[in-house]
Structure 1
């Protein structure tokens, strides 16, 4: 019977009515809300229980919490020592900057010092310009006197040689006949009337110290044996006169067109003709070692290294020795003398030894 009842119900019509009722109810609620103009706070209901004492309860609540306080204190803990040190550094830097600025400002304000000598010495009086000039002139004269040296005779000879006419030629001669050839040429140029073109004939000489048997002897000898220098104007006549002079074997260079010497070559061969004497050093130049130039003297020694000699003077007189070194410029020998079965070097002069 229940099944029949449920089957006879018109569910569609019921659903439509229910839907309409719901819409009417919702519309009524919305309309009521629109008509209400009172604020919400007036509609709120403040419910207070007269029997409950709220303020009293608040006073009785204990808010102290040791654990929470410890956490907060740890979070807010500050290293007081570090904070104090940082503050001190900031203060020190600030003071240093202020002092530097003050020092710079003070330095700019200081005026240059224009007072007397701080060492206590009085100011020197101003010197008269004329006096200063006179002193300077005297100093120049003194300096010139100190720097002055005798005239170099070689420079004078160089200038004279450069100004002479003609050119220098070299001729061969028999060794030992150089001076004879010179005399013959001078005689022939006069007899053959070519003296105007043959100006000068020279045989370069030099001073040599010969030491033989301990004896020193100054000897003047031909510097270049077998050669004679002639200054002349070269032509057929002068060439013939010189070439056919007895003792002459020919010209240096081309036999028929000889080559003259260059100036420096002629100067070096002829400068031994200059007479140079030693003089005392110039006053004021002693400290500088200035003195007149002197002609160099060649020493010719009659000794040989390894030669056995006999010492004739000095502490080792009578002893034999062997020459180990010869010093011609100083006139000394180094001789090895046997003493106590050992060879001892002894320095001796040439005249202290003799050949065996």
Structure 2
């Protein structure tokens, strides 16, 4: 039986420009080595940017983190071996060498990345409701606390006290945490 703390999102370092090939190889290897229950998702965070070429503007998708691939996996010895020995993978970020297993991304970090990619995040343990007092953990209002007044999709409106006055702040749901 696997513990829930064995599952997490990990960052793979790859040769720059080989991110899509690593994703393809990793998904193929997961199937070949019967690791589909351990290697769950592979994502390459992208963003849409406007580029001008020959006087014409067009939108293109580019990697947000060139040379890195995100993988959601259950960190077993076998899965770790399959992933780190995938062609063009140079290692895990957060591994301290000497065959030590890497540390996963924090839940807030991966939520922010996935939401910015336009993906819905299913595993959010968001028990926030109107009237809850929460702390802002990211953005311009970091470390302010306040009461939630409205929740709409991934946006939270809350009252914070700033310079002695109550102020309405709107933040992303990934930017708040329980007190």
Using the size of structure 2 for normalisation, the TM-score is 0.59
Match runs of 1:341-352 below 5 Å? none
In 2, are the aligned partners of 1:166 and 1:199 still within 8 Å (CA)? no
Using the size of structure 1 for normalisation, the TM-score is 0.31
In 2, are the aligned partners of 1:169 and 1:261 still within 8 Å (CA)? yes
Q: Partner of 2:114 in structure 1? A: 270
Secondary structure, aligned partner of 1:237: helix
Q: Which has the higher helix share?
A: 1
Q: Partner of 1:179 in structure 2? A: 20
Q: Partner of 1:258 in structure 2? A: 102
Q: Tell me which structure has the larger Cα radius of gyration.
A: 1
The Cα shift of 1:212 comes to: 3.5
Match runs of 1:1-356 below 5 Å? 166-254=7-95, 255=97, 256-274=100-118
CA distance in 2, matches of 1:222, 1:271: 15
The Cα shift of 1:273 comes to: 3.0
Runs of 4+ with >3 A deviation:
none
The Cα shift of 1:186 comes to: 0.3
CA distance in 1, matches of 2:116, 2:54: 28
The Cα shift of 1:243 comes to: 0.2
CA distance in 1, matches of 2:71, 2:31: 15
The answer for unaligned runs of 5 or more in structure 1 is 1-164, 277-291, 294-356
Cα RMSD for the two superposed structures: 2.5
The Cα shift of 1:208 comes to: 0.5
1:23-79 CA-partner distances (Å, limit 9, x unpaired): xxxxxxxxxxxxxxxxxxxxxxxxxxxxxxxxxxxxxxxxxxxxxxxxxxxxxxxxx
In 2, are the aligned partners of 1:181 and 1:245 still within 8 Å (CA)? yes
Secondary structure, aligned partner of 2:114: helix
The Cα shift of 1:275 comes to: 6.2
CA distance in 2, matches of 1:210, 1:195: 38
1:191-230 CA-partner distances (Å, limit 9, x unpaired): 0011111111111111000124432111011111000001
Q: Partner of 2:124 in structure 1? A: none
* More RCO (CA 8 Å, sep 6+): 2
